[in-house]
Amino acid sequence: MPTTIAEKPSAEVPAGAALETLKITDSRTGKSYEIPIEHGTVKAIDLRQIKTGPEDFGLMTYDPAFMNTASCRSKITFIDGEKGILLYRGYPIDQLAEKCSYLQVAYLILYGELPTVTQLHEWTEHVRMHTFVHENVKRLMDGFRYDAHPMGIFVSTLAALSTFYPEAKNVLDADTRQKQVWRLIGKVPTIAAFAYRHSLGMPYVYPDNDLTYAENFLSMMFRVAESKYRPNRVLARALEVLFILHADHEQNCSTNAMRSIGSSQSDPYCSAAGAAAALYGPLHGGANEAVLRMLDEIGSKANVPAFVRDVKEGKGRLMGFGHRVYKNYDPRAKIIKRMADEVFAETEKNPKLEIALELERIALEDEYFVKRKLYPNVDFYSGLIYQAMKFPVDMFPVMFAIPRMSGWLAQWEEMLMSPEQKIARPRQMYLGAQRRNVPA
Ligand code: CMC
């Protein structure tokens, strides 16, 4: 007779519904177990009761890098990596990119529904009211060396905000959390732009709240002596779309960092600083910067075949290609590629586009990439657009972090509100030395 591990079905399984189960026979003991399956998953903790004897700790799962582990239940973002589908709260990314503003999408991601006209007005006002930073934040940013990478400044300044808003540590209070959401969404473009201006030694441009979220960011980045910054509408819209495409992407490395740090009930500024630090790496949000450096290194279309050959021989990676979840063309990359033409009609054509197109053409026909299902991801073309819009390469990961703040905060809120939530604390397989004594 199988031993039933979980006696009662989880509260999420409707009463009367047939319980799907997994039958396991432990060949070490000959015992059989029946484990509930819910939403295509089994609970790792259900395996703990599979033991060889009373002294045995019980079976664990081993999954470095979470290749096949769901770390949470979520209702925010859905990805079907095989089909190249991305939905925020059920809405397809291409429809959101076509019809919405970034602040509408941020609201959707955070609160589950697209805002009504009144809700959008209130939300926009709240965000606008929090675009300014304390003068001491500015002075703190002044302390960085002239050549500091803006992402380093960005990460550090996010963490420093925690000292300006000490009440933010009351993470179990809904009103307090809400206030920090307005502050963080409002302030990230300001901090990002100040980090850039600092690297140029140029005076900081204060927020202009007559402008939209994306336009205001362009103003803080690029305004020089003009009394009023007049954004190019096509470029401002392109930036808005890029913000929408980067707003959330379910349990990626930085979001997992946000949830993991937040699970200790750390305040949202420190948690977001940790998430931004995770984003900075070249395998994640730093990839758009790495793509541009790679295109520079390749230099010309003629050098593409040799570069691809090197990648196949294991000498580096084709940056902006491949994804843990997408085994098809990243839907975000499709939208960006289409948008590139509109942007280049307004700016000079980025000469690196030719190299990128040739790389994509060769890679998509090459058995190495086809067999491994490596397609262009969001970072492959975004950098070319940013560069054409005159954003320096160092700023690319920061540009990713600005909109991702809405996703991090939505996932943080969902994590804190989950009744199953506990401090994130994985197990390990200990393979080191057994107990031994220090020599006398
Ligand atoms: N160029 C060449 N080979 C690659 C690449 C690439 N970009 N990506 C994966 N591979 C190969 C890899 O060598 C491995 O081959 P083999 O099976 O022979 O050992 C196979 O494909 C599977 O790769 P993996 O590293 O096990 O896959 P992963 O899911 O752990 O990594 C990834 C995903 C995104 C880190 C990886 O594809 C990569 O390093 N891409 C380049 C960096 C990049 O563009 N990152 C941005 C990701 S999208 C934005 C975001 O969400 O942050």
pLDDT reading at 4 higher than 70: no
DSSP 112-173: SS---HHHHHHHHHHHHTT----HHHHHHHHTS-TT--HHHHHHHHHHHHHHH-GGGG-TT-
Residue % of the chain over a pLDDT of 90: 88
How far does the centroid of ligand 1 lie from the alpha carbon of residue 357, in Å? 19
Q: What is the pLDDT of residues 418-431, one digit of tens each?
A: 999 899 999 999 99
From the list 126, 284, 366, 394, the catalytic residue is 284
pLDDT value at residue 156: 98
Instruction: Give the residue, out of 321, 367, 370, 399, with the most ligand 1 atoms within 8 A of its beta carbon, to mutate for a pocket test.
Output: 321
Protein residue whose Cα sits closest to atom 18 of ligand 1 = 372
- Mean pLDDT confidence for 413-418: 98
What contacts 383, CB < 8 A, 6 or more positions away? 288, 289, 291, 292, 320, 393, 396
Class of the CATH-defined domain 91-424? mainly alpha
How far does the centroid of ligand 1 lie from the alpha carbon of residue 355, in Å? 20
Q: What is the pLDDT of residues 394-407, one digit of tens each?
A: 999 999 999 999 99
Q: How far apart are CA 292 and CA 271, in angstroms?
A: 29
Q: How confident is the model at residue 14 (pLDDT cuts 50, 70, 90)?
A: low
pLDDT value at residue 292: 92
pLDDT value at residue 16: 59
Please tell me if the CB atom of residue 289 comes closer than 6 angstroms to any atom of ligand 1.
no
Protein residue whose Cα sits closest to atom 48 of ligand 1 = 377
pLDDT value at residue 391: 94
Q: Where are the domains of the chain?
A: 1-70, 91-424
pLDDT value at residue 351: 85
Residue 104 burial (CB count, 10 A) = 19
Active site residue 284: yes
Active site residue 379: yes
Protein residue whose Cα sits closest to atom 34 of ligand 1 = 323
Q: What is the pLDDT of residues 116-143, one digit of tens each?
A: 999 999 999 999 999 999 999 999 999 9
How far does the centroid of ligand 1 lie from the alpha carbon of residue 342, in Å? 30
Please tell me if the CB atom of residue 278 comes closer than 6 angstroms to any atom of ligand 1.
no
Protein residue whose Cα sits closest to atom 49 of ligand 1 = 284
pLDDT value at residue 341: 85
